[in-house]
């Protein structure tokens, strides 16, 4: 009887095993590109950092730790990062509070100004500061101030303006929702407005505040463009990686410094994700949204803050636009369009390359992140948990480290990916996986919001999972997918660190052209390229917005 029972149970066991394997297969298939384009390059960096003439060992790390110059560079990076992040957070919180919690005029205009730097290359802040306060800067020459901007304070100011819009978006979202009943209770208990801010507003936004701090920390410590343009002799870790790899062809030390740069970035990214996950719901079915009441003194003070910060942002961007139309900065300040003839090496081709790369990244990115998020939600398995880890891993990887990994992993004829190495395709892929985590989290959030009852209803009516996805899930996800595509397009147009090691004379992109032109003193041409990047992104945003409005999707956020 026992043997008979076992014989009958065997097919059921085999079916159960096949079902588990079938559930894991989608996660394995979707995870393979992440293994190839994220884990594989990181493994090469780790291995190369231990490579010595005598084999493998810790000699490279020992040489680095025993080098006083490296210790000074590490201190430089943390000194810039901590001060920049602190100042940016204070500015962004004040600005977000002004936009969300006051009745001051022109709030929508201020919101648009705050995110304007997102449309420009990541080094445009340093570019604008040089045009204003550099040795031949407009303000420096006009007033004979003699300001020496190059060095620590130049990097700090540029970094603050660089990360400000990211902090503003996070803090603005944290301040956008509040329960009016809590503030009314505080007022009834005799709490002053300052006390209500300290005991209600700050605690309610603490997770958003913590997330903004760690995002700013990661962005500043891994930033490459601003220190290269305005750093002078003040070297930080990101620029030292470039110096070691490009300047000295010392890949071993480049990978060692890359690994050192990876550690604080990874810790900050992981803490930020953990902190964000702890955010609790502030609005329930019984809540009443907080509507800011008029307070003339508060609104005037916040308006002054908003005007000052907006003036700083606009002055940086507008001076770059102005320089692109000047005949020869700063000696012949007459109007001219000659810099838009792009009479430089490669001409206007880098801009077209950027557009091609960004369109490819948008298409590939939407498919990659949506597939990963869908599989994790609909095919739960141990493999899906591994896929989740792989999907958020890129958030902890600095762009320069990923790009360096691509050189080491794919620049070999024996590697199948070598066929696309040195092409625009590999640059697009680098952008996709550099920004993969952000797009994945947006897609995953939207998929979770789609009720499982749609799947049940479809199955009841005889629909397959594929038909449900095509006819139900995709239409519901469409606005989110458009937003993700715009996100990948925007980021790919302006990114610098992830692609700086991958460009060739034939695949140079516009953001890299800005760096090269600025570095050799071609200020006007660099400004013209920056303006073209900004104009391209704005044109795409406008076109997508008009398309979405025509389709009835009027509340889709395109800036993430």
* 23 falls within a domain: no
Reply yes or no on whether the pLDDT at 8 is more than 70.
no
**From CA 269, how far away is CA 263, in angstroms rounded?**
10
* 7 falls within a domain: no
**From CA 311, how far away is CA 132, in angstroms rounded?**
13
- Residues of the chain above pLDDT 90, percent: 50
Domain termination site, one of 331, 346, 374: 331
- Distance of alpha carbon 241 from its chain centroid, rounded? 20
233-291 pLDDT, tens digit each:
999 999 999 999 888 888 888 999 999 888 888 888 777 767 666 555 555 555 566 67
Q: State pTM to two decimals.
A: 0.89
pLDDT score of 1: 47
Same domain, 76 and 154: yes
Q: What sign for the dihedral angle of Cα 24, 25, 29, 35?
A: positive
Same domain, 268 and 189: yes
Domain termination site, one of 331, 358, 377: 331
21-80 pLDDT, tens digit each:
666 788 899 999 999 999 999 999 999 999 887 778 888 889 888 889 999 999 999 999
Res. 228 pLDDT band, cuts 50 70 90: very high
Res. 495 pLDDT band, cuts 50 70 90: very high
**Strand-pair partners of 51:** 56
More confident position, 402 or 551: 402
What's the average model confidence in pLDDT over 464-473? 74
Same domain, 379 and 278: no
336-349 pLDDT, tens digit each:
999 898 888 788 99
**Strand-pair partners of 52:** 55
What's the average model confidence in pLDDT over 548-559? 81
74-105 pLDDT, tens digit each:
999 999 999 999 999 999 999 999 999 899 99
By mean pLDDT, which of 84-88, 306-310, 377-381, 545-549 is the weakest?
A: 377-381
User: Beta strand 55-56 with 326-328: parallel, antiparallel or unpaired?
Assistant: unpaired
From residue 453, give the alpha-carbon distance in Å to each of 67, 443, 449, 456.
62, 19, 11, 5
Same domain, 289 and 347: no
The CATH number that applies at residue 451 is 1.10.3720.10
Task: Please name which of 160, 157, 175, 178 lies closest in space to residue 111, comparing C-alpha atoms.
Answer: 175
**Strand-pair partners of 332:** 328
Same domain, 298 and 343: no
Give the number of other Cβ atoms within 10 Å of residue 391's Cβ: 26
* 25 falls within a domain: no
Same domain, 244 and 290: yes
* 556 falls within a domain: yes
Give the DSSP letter string of 99-163: HHS---S-HHHHHHHHHGGGGS-TTHHHHHHHHHHSTT-HHHHHHT-----TTHHHHHHHHHHHH
- Residues of the chain above pLDDT 70, percent: 89
Residues 6+ apart with CB under 8 A from 391: 34, 369, 372, 373, 376, 436, 437, 440
Same domain, 502 and 479: yes
Same domain, 352 and 228: no
Domain span at residue 254?
A: 68-331
* 6 falls within a domain: no
Same domain, 152 and 210: yes
* 460 falls within a domain: yes
Residues 6+ apart with CB under 8 A from 68: none
pLDDT score of 117: 93
* 377 falls within a domain: yes
Same domain, 345 and 320: no
Reply yes or no on whether the pLDDT at 444 is more than 70.
yes
125-150 pLDDT, tens digit each:
999 999 999 888 888 888 877 788 89
Reply yes or no on whether the pLDDT at 538 is more than 50.
yes
pLDDT score of 279: 56
**From CA 199, how far away is CA 212, in angstroms rounded?**
20
**From CA 234, how far away is CA 126, in angstroms rounded?**
14
Same domain, 80 and 203: yes
Provide the domain count of the chain: 2
Q: Mean pLDDT, the chain, as a whole number?
A: 86
**Strand-pair partners of 289:** 179
Same domain, 428 and 315: no
Reply yes or no on whether the pLDDT at 2 is more than 60.
no
What's the average model confidence in pLDDT over 203-212? 84
pLDDT score of 442: 86
Domain termination site, one of 315, 331, 347: 331
pLDDT score of 308: 97
By mean pLDDT, which of 287-291, 314-318, 439-443 is the weakest?
A: 287-291
Res. 462 pLDDT band, cuts 50 70 90: low
pLDDT score of 200: 77
User: Beta strand 332-335 with 326-328: parallel, antiparallel or unpaired?
Assistant: antiparallel
From residue 403, give the alpha-carbon distance in Å to each of 37, 39, 424.
10, 13, 14
* 10 falls within a domain: no
């Amino acid at each position: 009887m026992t043997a008979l029972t076992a014989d009958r149970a065997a097919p059921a066991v085999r079916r159960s095993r096949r079902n588990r394997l079938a559930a894991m297969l989608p996660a394995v298939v979707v995870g393979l590109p992440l293994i190839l384009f994220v884990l594989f390059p990181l493994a090469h960096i780790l291995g190369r950092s231990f490579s010595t003439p005598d084999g493998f060992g810790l000699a490279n790390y020992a040489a680095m730790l025993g080098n006083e110059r490296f210790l000074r560079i590490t201190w430089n990076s943390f000194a810039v990062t901590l001060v920049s992040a602190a100042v940016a957070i204070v500015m962004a919180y004040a600005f977000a509070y002004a936009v969300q919690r006051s009745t001051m005029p022109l709030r929508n205009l201020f919101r648009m100004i705050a995110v304007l730097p997102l449309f420009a290359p990541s080094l445009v802040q340093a570019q604008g500061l040089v045009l204003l306060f550099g040795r031949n800067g407009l303000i420096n020459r006009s007033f004979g101030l003699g300001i020496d901007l190059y060095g620590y304070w130049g990097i700090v100011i540029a970094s603050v303006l660089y990360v400000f819009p990211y902090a503003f978006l996070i803090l603005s979202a944290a301040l956008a929702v509040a329960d009016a009943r809590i503030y009314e209770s505080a007022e009834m208990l005799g709490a002053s407005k300052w006390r209500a801010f300290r005991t209600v507003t700050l605690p309610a936004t603490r997770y958003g505040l913590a997330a903004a701090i760690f995002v700013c920390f990661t962005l500043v410590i891994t930033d490459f463009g601003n220190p290269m343009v305005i750093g002078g002799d003040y070297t930080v870790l990101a620029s030292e990686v470039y110096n070691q790899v490009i300047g000295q062809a010392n890949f071993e030390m480049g990978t060692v410094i890359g690994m050192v740069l990876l550690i604080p970035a990874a810790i900050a990214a992981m803490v930020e994700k953990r902190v964000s996950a702890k955010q609790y719901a502030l609005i329930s079915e019984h809540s009443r949204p907080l509507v800011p009441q008029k307070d003339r003194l508060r609104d005037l003070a916040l308006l002054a803050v908003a005007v000052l910060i907006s003036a700083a942002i606009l002055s940086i961007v507008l001076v770059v636009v102005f320089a692109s139309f000047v005949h020869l900065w700063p000696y012949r300040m007459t109007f001219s369009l000659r810099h838009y003839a792009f009479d430089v090496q490669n001409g206007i081709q880098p801009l077209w390359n950027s557009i091609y790369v960004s369109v490819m990244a948008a298409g590939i990115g939407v498919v990659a992140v949506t597939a990963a998020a869908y599989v994790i939600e609909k095919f739960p398995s141990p493999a899906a948990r591994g896929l989740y880890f792989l999907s958020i891993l890129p958030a902890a990887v600095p762009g320069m480290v990923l790009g360096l990994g691509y050189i080491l992993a794919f620049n070999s004829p024996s590697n199948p990916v070598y066929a696309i190495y040195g092409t625009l395709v590999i640059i697009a892929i680098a952008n996709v996986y550099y920004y993969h985590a952000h797009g994945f989290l947006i897609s995953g959030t939207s998929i979770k919001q789609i009720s499982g009852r749609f799947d049940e209803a479809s199955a009841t009516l005889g629909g397959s999972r594929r038909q449900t996805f095509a006819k139900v899930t995709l239409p519901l996800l469409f606005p989110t997918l458009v937003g993700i595509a715009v996100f990948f397009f925007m980021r790919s147009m302006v990114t610098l660190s992830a692609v700086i090691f991958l460009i060739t004379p034939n695949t140079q992109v516009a953001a890299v052209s800005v760096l090269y032109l600025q570095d050799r003193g071609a200020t006007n041409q660099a400004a013209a390229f920056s303006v073209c990047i900004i104009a391209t992104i704005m044109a795409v945003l406008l076109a997508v917005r008009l398309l979405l409005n025509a389709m009835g999707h009027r509340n889709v956020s395109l800036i993430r």
